[in-house]
Amino acid sequence: CGIVLHPAGHTRSPAMHNAAFAALGVDAAYLAFDVAPADLRGAVAGMRALGIRQLAVSMSSICSCR
């Protein structure tokens, strides 16, 4: 699981999700992927190939991809 955004350094999502996973005994990890808007399509294709099952994408990344 993870979130795609740029820049990614400010996000609290991984800490929040990983704390919840630990508290619930869920074997999962939530990561932040710092992907420049120009690289979004390729990054998503790569994540699909890796079998990443859940991915959040920031609105700014979505809007810049259109």
Domains of the chain from N-terminus onward? 2-65 (3.40.50.10860)
CA distances to 18, 37, 47, 60 from 42, rounded to whole Å, are 26, 10, 9, 17
35's CB contacts (< 8 A; 6+ apart) are: 4, 5, 6, 43, 61
Model confidence pLDDT, tens digit, residues 27-38: 999 999 999 988
Q: How many angstroms separate the CA atoms of 65 and 9, rounded?
A: 20
Model confidence pLDDT, tens digit, residues 2-23: 999 888 888 899 999 999 999 9
pTM: 0.77
The runs of H, that is alpha helices, within 1-66 are 13-24, 40-50, 59-65
